[in-house]
């Protein structure tokens, strides 16, 4: 099977267009072959499977997420301001990958989780929560955010409530970004004792 990083750009773009246009269920090898201007047999010979293509799309979305959050980690100013930037970046990244993320919402074996603990509960991958935990700790130090007893757990809740809440409002309920983004951001900031900036 082809590794996600070995899949040609044209195939990934065709997959992205399929998912963006018709949702995650439209990502089949037959449809991908047609959308990319190749044949199912060619994809088979190259070892390109649906899971590898999906992994490539998720990898690209994760890279965009990290790049989008970086300015909030390096900017000057109070942590509450930088958390507002981070939440806006989460929403913007979600908008760029809305159909893909909506399709992944119910996936138990999601790239957003790491293996379960003794209780069987899955934790949100630190790749997604560590930037938020840092901002929460910074905010507790500068007084712009209420101190959290467990910044890592609070960051996981914040990522999931803000991220998935925003995706649901945008994708399932059809809210505009102009309506959903401030609603989610204001709610998330209030939950950690920060004022919207």
pLDDT by 10s per residue, the chain, length 197: 566 567 888 898 888 888 878 777 888 999 999 999 999 998 988 888 888 888 888 888 888 899 999 999 999 999 999 999 999 999 999 998 888 888 777 665 556 656 655 666 777 788 889 999 999 999 999 999 999 899 999 999 999 999 999 999 999 999 999 999 999 999 999 999 987 66
C-alpha 164, offset from chain centre:
8
Determine the Cα–Cα distance for residues 189 and 166; give it in Å rounded to an integer. Answer: 14
Domains in the chain with CATH codes: 59-191 (1.10.357)
Query: For position 107, what pLDDT does the model report?
Result: 60
Residue closest to 152 by CA, chosen among 120, 130, 179: 130
Are the CB atoms for 21 and 35 separated by under 8 Å? Answer: no
Question: What angle do helix axes 9-22 and 29-36 make, rounded to 10 degrees?
Answer: 120
Determine the Cα–Cα distance for residues 140 and 83; give it in Å rounded to an integer. Answer: 12
Determine the Cα–Cα distance for residues 24 and 170; give it in Å rounded to an integer. Answer: 16
What predicted TM-score, i.e. pTM, was given to this entire model? 0.82
Determine the Cα–Cα distance for residues 76 and 12; give it in Å rounded to an integer. Answer: 36
């Amino acid at each position: 099977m082809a590794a996600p990083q070995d899949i040609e750009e044209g195939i990934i773009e065709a997959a992205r267009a399929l998912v963006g246009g018709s949702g995650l269920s439209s990502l089949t090898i037959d449809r991908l072959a047609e959308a990319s201007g190749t044949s199912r047999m060619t994809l088979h010979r190259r070892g390109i499977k649906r899971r590898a293509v999906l992994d490539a799309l998720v990898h690209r979305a994760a890279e965009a997420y990290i790049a989008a959050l970086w300015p909030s980690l390096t900017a000057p100013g109070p942590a509450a301001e930088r958390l507002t930037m981070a939440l806006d970046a989460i929403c913007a990244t979600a908008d760029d990958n809305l159909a893909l993320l909506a399709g992944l919402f119910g996936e138990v074996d999601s790239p957003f989780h790491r293996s379960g603990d003794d209780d069987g509960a899955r934790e949100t991958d630190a790749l997604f929560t560590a930037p938020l935990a840092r901002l929460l700790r910074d905010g507790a130090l500068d007084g712009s955010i209420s101190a959290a007893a467990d910044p890592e757990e609070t960051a996981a809740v914040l990522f999931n409530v803000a991220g998935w809440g925003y995706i649901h409002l945008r994708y399932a309920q059809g809210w505009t970004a102009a309506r959903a983004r401030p609603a989610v951001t204001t709610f998330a900031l209030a939950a950690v004792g920060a004022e919207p900036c």
